[in-house]
Each structure stands twice: as structure tokens, then as C-alpha cells.
Amino acid sequence: MEELARESISLLASASAKPPLDVSAGPRLGSMGAIFIMLKSALGAGLLNFPWAFERAGGVRSAVTVELVSLVFLISGLIILGYASSISGQCTYQAVVKEVCGPVIGQLCEICFVFNLFMISVAFLVIVDDQLEKLCGSLYELVTALPESEMPHHFYTDQRFGLLLLCVLLILPLSIPKEISIQKYISSMENQRLSHWVFISVVSMIFCLVIYSLTGAYGYLTFGKGVKADILMSYTGDDILMLVARLLFGVSIITIYPIILLLGRSVIQDPLLSWRRRREGAVTAAFESHSRYVLTVLWIAATLLIAIFVPDISKVISVIGGISAFFIFIFPGLCLMFAMQSEPVSWKTRVVLTVWGVITLLCGAFIFGQSTTTAVMQALGKI
């Protein structure tokens, strides 16, 4: 659920009050398709971290209680964003925040958005690195019939070398294009009413709650206090089902990573192109492609280096959890508070919704402070 920013971006345009889409313009999504895309976006790196999170929370009961409370704010945040999109006429997260809350908060949202996507990219590569380590050991045992401890150490047997090859040979080519084909499904949903957006949000978050809870509970009950931050790393290398799971999860991450990169790259590149347009009067295709190539290579190189030198997924997730508080709590709370200052609603409704916005904002500030402090102390080796 730490990827609420991404899932909100994916379908936020669905709730905006724009003219109906032309059928000939491309494929349009029904309710099930919209729910599937949101689930595809929401079920990310945090899924493997949930059993460890259950252990840190003190067990299944306390963890599920926290999940249920969080679910209220998650659904509330999505509904607020849908409402803010409908009154602002904007169709991306950062554009909605900038239109409703002003340019200063909008710029802060863009910075947080890019940083959040960047850390999610790091988390994905850390998970791939973990799975490559297990796969290398499993393949060595399978081919040689010798234990993994006797595997010779060469640069080509190091999982970090394999991760580098994956980034260069697969992730980079998939990330270079200006657009990704799945984008055509993002805002072509058939029913664009706000009430339908609420339905999609509620159903998707309930599915997420069930999937995350089952994963967390099963992993925690299986391994107890010995559960690792990446649940797949708790299983032995000779487990065939886990071998298949690692391969499938790796394929999923390789296909999702370019979408994350594209979203982050667009936020960085758009101001650059605007500056070029103001300076030169136009943006050439050569400048656009050159800047896109440079940003893509820098993004992949930076996330790869961090993933190699910070192999503990729990540290990365802690940072993501802190910054995600902005997208789940703080920015939706601010949007609601600002919207209530100008929207024609009754006095009672204005007071109730403004108070809820303040509560959401304060909860987000507390979670951000607590999670960020913990992440920093872990990085400094004090915990």
C-alpha cells in the first residue's frame, strides 16, 4: 500500500469531469479492468515485506488492526483525490495538488512524487537482487549436486553481475520509449462519474487488504520472529514452488519498473522541456530524445548503485513508508482543506470535512516523522 501515489496517478483521470471519451480514440476500461489495473499498481514490493511488518507490529491481531485503520484513510484519500480532480479538471496527482493547493505545495508534491518513485525503483531492484542470489545458489546445487556453500566466487557468479545484466539488457530497452502501451488504458474508463471512482477505490482496497493480510499472516505464522524482510528469502533454495514464485515476481518487477521510471522521468523532463521551449521557442525531437535517454540512464544507474550497496529491503521500505505518508495522508488532507475554502457547500459540511482534512494531515505528519526517524536511525546503525 506504500504505492498509493502510483495507483492514484494510474486512474485519477477517471474521476475528472471531462467530456466523454470518443470510442474510436482507443480501448476503454470497464469496472473489472479498472480494478485490475489498480491492483496491479498497488501490489508491489511491500507485499514481500508484510510478514516482517507483522512481526514488527507484534503479531497478526495488532497488525490487522493497524491495517483496518489505515484502510479508512486509504479509501478516504482516494475519494478526496477523485473529488479534487473533478473540481480542478486535472488528471495527474501533482497537477491536482498544484491546482487545488497552490504552486508551492504543488512543487513539493512533485519533489515527493519523484523521490517516492525513485525509492520504489530501488526497492524493486533490491528484491530482484535477493531473488537472483537464491536462484544462483539453487541452480548451482541442481547442476553440480554440491551444496551452495561450495560454489566458487567469480564475478559472473555474483548476483550483482546478473542484476547489472538485467538492467542493461532488459530494463533499459523497456524504459527508453517515450510512451508505454499500457498508458492507453490509464484514463479511458467507460464510467467516469465520481461515484464509480468511489466504487473502484473501495473494491480495490478491500482486495488489497485481503491479499496483504493473508500474505503477512501466513508468512509470520510460518517463520515467526525469524521471518526475513523479504519473505521469499525465508524459504530454502530447493523449494520448487518458491523457485517459480521468484521467477514470476522477477518478471513482474521487470515489467513494472519501466512504468515507474516513465512516471518519474516525465515529472523531471516536463519542466526541462518547458524551459527549453521558453529559451529557444520550440523543442526539437533531438533534444527531447536526448534528454529522455540521459534521464533514463541516470535513473537506472542511480537505483542500481543504491540497490547494490543497500541490500536490506527493510531499510528501503522504511524510507518509502515515510514519504508515502505525504500521498496517503498529507496531500489529500491539504486538498480537502483547500477545497472546502472555495466550494459551495453547507456550513456544516464545510466544518466536518475541514476537520477530517486536519485529522488526516496530522496523522500523516506523525507517520512521516516516526517512519523517517526510524529509517535514519537504522541507517546510522543505532537500532
Q: What is the pLDDT along the chain (383 residues), one digit of tens a residue?
A: 444 444 443 444 333 333 333 434 455 667 777 777 777 666 666 777 888 888 888 888 888 898 888 888 888 988 898 888 888 888 778 889 999 999 999 999 989 889 888 988 888 888 888 778 777 777 777 777 777 667 777 776 677 888 899 899 999 998 998 876 554 444 575 566 777 778 887 888 888 888 889 989 998 999 888 888 778 888 876 677 777 877 887 787 888 888 889 888 988 988 888 888 888 888 888 888 999 999 999 999 999 998 888 766 667 777 777 788 888 899 999 999 999 988 888 899 999 999 999 999 999 999 888 878 877 776 676 54
Report the distance separating Cα 11 and Cα 261, nearest Å: 17
pTM above 0.85, yes or no: no
Between the alpha carbon of residue 329 and those of residues 19, 40, 332, the distances in Å are 30, 22, 6
Q: Are 227 and 50 in contact (CB under 8 A)?
A: no
Maximum pairwise Cα distance, the chain:
75
Report the distance separating Cα 168 and Cα 162, nearest Å: 10
From 338, 333, 342, select the one nearest 79 (Cα to Cα): 333
pLDDT, residue 180, reads 65
Report the distance separating Cα 347 and Cα 339, nearest Å: 13
pLDDT, residue 75, reads 87
From 233, 249, 324, 248, select the one nearest 316 (Cα to Cα): 324
Q: Are 328 and 4 in contact (CB under 8 A)?
A: yes
pLDDT, residue 360, reads 94
SS3 for 189? strand
Torsion of CA 60, 66, 68, 72, to 10 degrees: -170
pLDDT, residue 104, reads 93
Per the rule left: phi > 0, alpha: psi between -120 and 50, beta: everything else, 58 is left
Residue 189, strand partner residues: 29
pLDDT, residue 13, reads 38
pLDDT, residue 41, reads 66
DSSP symbol at 330: I
Q: Are 155 and 41 in contact (CB under 8 A)?
A: no
* Burial class for 223, CB neighbours closer than 10 Å (0-12, 13-18, 19+): middle
From 192, 181, 252, 262, select the one nearest 29 (Cα to Cα): 192
From 237, 274, 263, 2, select the one nearest 142 (Cα to Cα): 237
Residue 246's contacts (CB-CB under 8 Å, 6 or more residues apart) are: 131, 134, 135, 232
Q: What is the CA radius of gyration of the chain?
A: 22
Residue 323's contacts (CB-CB under 8 Å, 6 or more residues apart) are: 112, 115, 116, 119, 368, 372
Q: Are 234 and 228 in contact (CB under 8 A)?
A: yes
